Structure 1
Amino acid sequence: MANITYDRACCVYPGADKLAVDSLDLDIDDGEFVVLVGPSGSGKSTALRMLAGLEEIDSGAIEIGGRNMVGVAPKDRDIAMVFQNYALYPNKTVGENMGFALKMRGISTAEREKKVADAAKLLDLTDYLDRKPARLSGGQRQRVAMGRAIVREPQVFCMDEPLSNLDAKLRVQTRTQIAALQRRLNTTTVYVTHDQVEAMTMGDRVAVLKHGVLQQFSTPTDLYDHPRNAFVAGFIGSPAMNLFTAPVQDGTVHVAGSPVELAQDSAALLKQSGLSYVTVGIRPEQLELADGGDGVDADVALLEELGSETYVHADVNDAAITSLEGGSVSLVARSARRAPAKLGEGIRLRQVSGGIVHLFDPESGERLGR
């Protein structure tokens, strides 16, 4: 069993006045694919390196298969690491790179060649075993790095932003291959990325970190539908959730002088809170361009034409609502129509009928209710 437990694990770098990872609690199941995601400096790579033994655990503990890893050398943790920069030996062939760790462990040539051949077949690298890394594409080099990890048959795969050096199209293709391969091998995997789209499409569960503190650990759909706080709401989703501060009148949110349609439980919680202002979150797909009636006036600032849909970025003309930073508000709406408006054109945005609205405390950022 290769379940992983972070038990209030902490790490602080020498000379730093803040923890790089602060009391991290995670329970990762055997065979699960978990993604650590967050902006730069959130502690995600440090948390992975703590698991691999490359950074010390200053307090708390990390367990693999029930065994405490505090004080255990990296080579004794039965973990394989895949790095961002591939870390291949340029003077060795693909086959030699993949089998090098086995050679160092004294595995026989015959067994080593069999394991390398099996991994190469999995990764579609059989025709490249005699090539040097310089004669491979970026995606092929990353697959070689994956193969080097696979042949070791470890308890855990640790992957530190392995797709960052690839171009956009190859990144999409390779992330699909990695996710499919992990499900075939059923090896517990901890994957670090700053790309929330990667996190949402690859992980069984996703841990969102900010300043070394875990914000939420859940499935991709739960993160999207029920963000625990305004940070998760704004970080998960592409384009991001629209977030702004709006006044509360008579127990309901008002935008452009009109009440916002809220779910019954959200409306009840808002009344109980006694807030005079609230942070409102609404996804782009929950907004539409209106011909008239209720809504908020805005000016089109940008059109993102994606073929099947268009994202309309518009600056709002309503001084009563403000951005989280206190400035003017820009909203993004998704339209199924091509060119639904023109740049600079005045439009009206409104909530789609039954559209979901999320409410957060404007001070703490915490979600009101589930």
Structure 2
Amino acid sequence: MAEVVFDQASRVYTAGAKPAVNRLDLEIEDGEFVVLVGPSGSGKSTALRMLAGLEEIDGGQIRIGGKNMVGVPSRDRDIAMVFQNYALYPNKTVGENMAFPLKMRGVDKEERATKVRAAADVLGLTDYLDRKPRALSGGQRQRVAMGRAIVREPQVFLMDEPLSNLDAKMRVSTRTEIAAMQRRLGVTTVYVTHDQVEAMTMGDRVALLKDGQLQQFATPADLYDKPANAFVAGFIGSPAMNLFTLPVSGEGVTIGSSELALPRSLRSRISSAGLSRVLLGIRPEQWSVGSSSSADGSGSGVKAQVDVVEELGSDAYLYAHLDDSEATPVVVRTSGRSGSRRGDHIVLTPTSEELHLFDPESGERV
């Protein structure tokens, strides 16, 4: 086990071009499970490959256990990598696949068998050691690939979208298994995914990247509750946060034909930032829903019309638009069987004072 540090680490594929990874700073603690997440082209897989020694480090350093990895071959970094492609040997049994890296190292047969049995016990593969990969499900094959990494007892596990080839149900169960396994083993793990739900449910901390740059590195709760900028706010959460660029008014902001009153603490932050317009973020669950017929005419609510209702049993999502602007969508989370129907006119009121404010130019949190 070891601490992993990205210290201003950069990767540039073409001289003069935009870096694929730009001065990345991360300090990953010994035994921590960290997820790198972001959209396609954000640099997350490149950063992982830099750590693995599969990509050169063009600037800065990457350190594992305090040792600078610049120029160190991948085989000498004491890491084990799991890819989305299982890459199992079809002619070998599960046990032989898991033991193969130890065999290549010259580990004796008895020790190989001991390590394989221990890893199989952790992964629930004991009953499958004599089977060939073709007799296994996709999730079981992925566990074999992880077992092959575990038996090496590396300082660091690296996982590059290992669940991408699994169906939705299998991904949910397998991500739970991976997180539980990592907690038991206590090995520093860096995990790459494009799926923000995976990131939020698995990682001790999550590093969100965009265009090769780190946007925020925090716990899942802090990413959700205190996004550092509008990009983080819009990326984290499903459905995404509602974001409105609005003019500032006397008691808050003007949204559509209504004035939305804001708490004094939020108005004070807007005033201190000297903004005449603000990017306001409201998560779907931060709305209460009333009917337009029950509106008191005070202007404190936001008038909208429902376009689509998604009934999910315990919850429902209302996809609506502002009454006076079909181009301005609003998403609302309500309790299941809310009674709202397509075409209904509703009034939305924020239920929390913990709304999110961003500078409309820079996108940074106010």
- TM-score bracket, shorter-length normalisation: over 0.9
1:299 maps onto 2:305 in alignment: yes
Who is 1:91 aligned against? 91
Who is 1:172 aligned against? 172
Deviation at 1:241, TM superposition (A): 0.7
Q: Match of 1:114, as an amino acid?
A: T
Report the 3-state secondary structure (helix = DSSP H, G, I; strand = E; otherwise coil) of the residue aligned with 1:130. coil
> Percentage identity across aligned positions?
66
- CA 1:192–1:10: 2 relative to 1, 3 Å: same
Residues 251 and 271 in structure 1, CA contact (< 8 A), matched pair in contact too: no
User: Deviation per CA, 1:234-293, whole angstroms, max 9, x where unpaired?
Assistant: 001111111111111237322245443434432212012222211110011101211323
- CA 1:267–1:108: 2 relative to 1, 3 Å: same
Who is 2:280 aligned against? 280
Report the 3-state secondary structure (helix = DSSP H, G, I; strand = E; otherwise coil) of the residue aligned with 2:115. helix
Who is 2:345 aligned against? 346
Q: Match of 2:332, as an amino acid?
A: A
Residues 119 and 151 in structure 1, CA contact (< 8 A), matched pair in contact too: yes
1:333 maps onto 2:332 in alignment: yes
User: Deviation per CA, 1:103-160, whole angstroms, max 9, x where unpaired?
Assistant: 0000000000110011011111111111111111010000001100000000000000
TM value normalised by structure 2: 0.95
State the distance in 1 between where 2:258 and 2:126 align: 64
Q: Match of 2:212, as an amino acid?
A: G
State the distance in 2 between where 1:171 and 1:304 align: 23
TM value normalised by structure 1: 0.94
Q: Match of 2:314, as an amino acid?
A: S
Give the 5 Å matches for 1:1-370.
2-14=2-14, 17-250=17-250, 252-291=252-291, 292-293=295-296, 294-319=300-325, 328-352=327-351, 354-368=352-366
Residues 251 and 260 in structure 2, CA contact (< 8 A), matched pair in contact too: no
State the distance in 2 between where 1:296 and 1:265 align: 20
State the distance in 2 between where 1:87 and 1:103 align: 17
Tell me the matched-pair count.
360
State the distance in 1 between where 2:263 and 2:80 align: 47
State the distance in 2 between where 1:26 and 1:165 align: 28
Moved more, 335-344 or 199-208: 335-344
State the distance in 1 between where 2:151 and 2:213 align: 34
State the distance in 1 between where 2:348 and 2:332 align: 8
Residues 263 and 356 in structure 1, CA contact (< 8 A), matched pair in contact too: no
Residues 251 and 262 in structure 2, CA contact (< 8 A), matched pair in contact too: no
State the distance in 2 between where 1:191 and 1:261 align: 42
Residues 313 and 336 in structure 2, CA contact (< 8 A), matched pair in contact too: no
Q: Match of 1:297, as an amino acid?
A: K
Q: Match of 2:87, as an amino acid?
A: A
5+ residue gaps, structure 1, are 320-326
Q: Match of 2:43, as an amino acid?
A: G
Report the 3-state secondary structure (helix = DSSP H, G, I; strand = E; otherwise coil) of the residue aligned with 2:62. strand
State the distance in 1 between where 2:263 and 2:79 align: 47
Residues 296 and 318 in structure 1, CA contact (< 8 A), matched pair in contact too: no
Residues 161 and 192 in structure 1, CA contact (< 8 A), matched pair in contact too: yes
Deviation at 1:171, TM superposition (A): 0.6
Report the 3-state secondary structure (helix = DSSP H, G, I; strand = E; otherwise coil) of the residue aligned with 1:307. coil
Deviation at 1:341, TM superposition (A): 1.1
Deviation at 1:303, TM superposition (A): 1.4
State the distance in 1 between where 2:310 and 2:239 align: 10
State the distance in 2 between where 1:345 and 1:259 align: 21
Deviation at 1:16, TM superposition (A): 7.5
User: Deviation per CA, 1:40-69, whole angstroms, max 9, x where unpaired?
Assistant: 100000000000001110111000000000
State the distance in 1 between where 2:245 and 2:150 align: 49
State the distance in 2 between where 1:181 and 1:286 align: 35
Q: Match of 2:173, as an amino acid?
A: Q
5+ residue gaps, structure 2, are none
Residues 33 and 190 in structure 2, CA contact (< 8 A), matched pair in contact too: yes
Report the 3-state secondary structure (helix = DSSP H, G, I; strand = E; otherwise coil) of the residue aligned with 2:118. helix
